[in-house]
Structure 1
Amino acid sequence: MGFPGTWMTESESVVYRVVPKCACSTIGQIMFYSDHGKFFDGDIHDAEKGLHKWAREDSQKLINANVKTHTSYAFTCVRNPYTRILSSFFDKICGIQRNGKRYRGNLVPLLIQKYGIEVGGDDGKEEFDQIRSFRRFLLFVRDTIRWRRPMEPDIHWSAMSGHVSTFIVNGGRYNKIFWTEAFNDGMQDVLSAIDTPHKVDLGSIPRFNESEGHGPKRAHPVEDYFDDMAMHLIYEIYRRDFDLFKYDFENPANKMPIGEIDLDEVHAKLGD
């Protein structure tokens, strides 16, 4: 299986396991900058050189050798499951993607037909009942994760613990897991622990939110989207994420973690 979703700088200064919807565009650009002294011109997910990625066949041997011997500092970044699933809905379901089309072709028409959701019209800009549509989307997410129908779970809403675990199961070990909600502190810890060809001044780095503007703006506070049934579904899907990464399941309004991530616990529970 190897190390899907793993990126590494060409200098091998650092290894990163991508978790979708968790600041991955900004992290990738920081890694690129730390090697080359400039940012990648475009969406870092499209970069085919300048950064080793498991999806590139020519990078796989190097990543495999590095990760299995724990040669470089390895990290990942996680996010509150409530805000992450909302972001996935507005970006991937309601939004027009950077290629000018809907995400995954027939996915949105399928959701409209089978689950009765609305997405704000052809361009995602019309008003619609966001709360009702989001809750119906949650049923779809649960169906994909629990029964793998009407399709396999998508990486943007499959559990973070699943992404994080493949790195461990195949022989990797994390030196750091930090929260998107405390991005500067966590990313600074990573940068302070490694040597890079180019120094990174985190304070001057822009945020590369590639999904910004794809879809409609969220019209309500986070907690308004989650009634008792929605919270039940969220816990069914993301229980491990709340437990391991110390987020507050009881209060969707609180996006901040309520404890410290225990790396030994993460490795023990996700290394099965």
Structure 2
Amino acid sequence: MGFPGTWMTETESVVYRVVPKCACSTIGQIMYYSDHGAFFDGDIHDAVDGLHKWAREDSQPLIQANVTAHKSYAFTCVRNPYTRILSSFFDKICGIQRNGKRYRGKLVPLLIQKYGIDVGGDDGKQEFDQIKSFRRFLLFARDTIRWHRPMDPDIHWSAQAGHVATFIANGGTYDKIFWTESFNDGMEQVLDAVETPHQLDLKTIPRFNESEGHGPRRAHPVEDYFDDLSMHLIKEIYHRDFALFKYDFDDPSNKMPIGEIDLHEVHAKLGE
């Protein structure tokens, strides 16, 4: 199976396991800059050189050798499951993607037909009941994750623990897992731990939020989207994310973690 979703700098200074919707665009750009002294011109997900990615066949032997031997510092970044699933809904379901089309072609028409979801019209700019539509989307997300129906789960709303686990299961070891919610602190610890050709100041770099502007803005506080049933579904889908990455399941309004991530626990639980 190898190391899907794994990126590595060309200098092999650092290895990163991508978790979608967790600042991955910014992290990729930081890695690119640390090697080249400039940011990639465009969406880092589109870069086909300047950064090793498991999706590139020529990168796979290098990533495989590095990760299995734990030659470089390896890290990933996680996010509160409540805000992550909301972000996925507004970006991927309600939003028009950078190619000018709906995400995954027939996905949104399927959701409108089978789940009664409203996405704000053809351009995603019309008013609609965000809370009602999101809760219906949550049923769909649960169905894809629990029963792989009406389709396999998408990487943007499948559990973070699953992404993090493949790296461990195939022989990788994390040196750091940090939270999107305290991004600068976590990323600084990674940069302090590695030697890179180019230094950068995290306080001054732009945020490369490639999903910004794709969809409508969230009109309500996070907690308004989650009633008792929604929280039950969230627990069913993301119970490992809350437990391992120390987020507060009981209070959707609290996006901050409530404990420290235990790397030994993560490796033990996800390496089984």
Which TM-score bucket, shorter chain as reference?
over 0.9
RMSD (Å) for aligned C-alpha atoms: 0.3
Separation in structure 2 between the aligned mates of residue 62 and residue 201 of structure 1, nearest angstrom: 28
Cα deviation, 1:108-127, whole Å, max 9, x if unaligned, reads 00000000000000110000
Separation in structure 1 between the aligned mates of residue 227 and residue 150 of structure 2, nearest angstrom: 24
Question: Aligned letter for 2:236?
Answer: E
Separation in structure 1 between the aligned mates of residue 31 and residue 206 of structure 2, nearest angstrom: 13
- Pairwise CA distance, 1:200: 1.6
Question: Aligned letter for 1:211?
Answer: S
Aligned to 1:149: 149
- Pairwise CA distance, 1:204: 1.3
Following TM superposition, where does structure 1 have runs of at least 4 consecutive aligned residues deviating by more than 4 angstroms? none
Separation in structure 1 between the aligned mates of residue 227 and residue 202 of structure 2, nearest angstrom: 38
Aligned to 2:225: 225
Question: Aligned letter for 2:227?
Answer: D
Separation in structure 2 between the aligned mates of residue 127 and residue 190 of structure 1, nearest angstrom: 42
Aligned to 1:256: 256
Cα deviation, 1:203-227, whole Å, max 9, x if unaligned, reads 1111000000000000000000000
Aligned to 1:190: 190
- Pairwise CA distance, 1:103: 0.1
Which TM-score applies when normalising by structure 1?
1.00
Separation in structure 1 between the aligned mates of residue 154 and residue 199 of structure 2, nearest angstrom: 35
Q: Secondary structure at the match of 2:7?
A: strand
Q: Secondary structure at the match of 1:60?
A: helix
Aligned to 1:35: 35
- Segments of structure 2 that go 5 or more residues without pairing to the other structure are none
Separation in structure 1 between the aligned mates of residue 186 and residue 123 of structure 2, nearest angstrom: 36
Total equivalences in the alignment: 272
Alignment of 1:134-213 (within 5 A): 134-213=134-213
- Pairwise CA distance, 1:202: 1.0
Cα deviation, 1:74-121, whole Å, max 9, x if unaligned, reads 000000000000000000000000000000000000000000000000
Cα deviation, 1:172-205, whole Å, max 9, x if unaligned, reads 0000000000000000000000000101211111
Identity %: 84
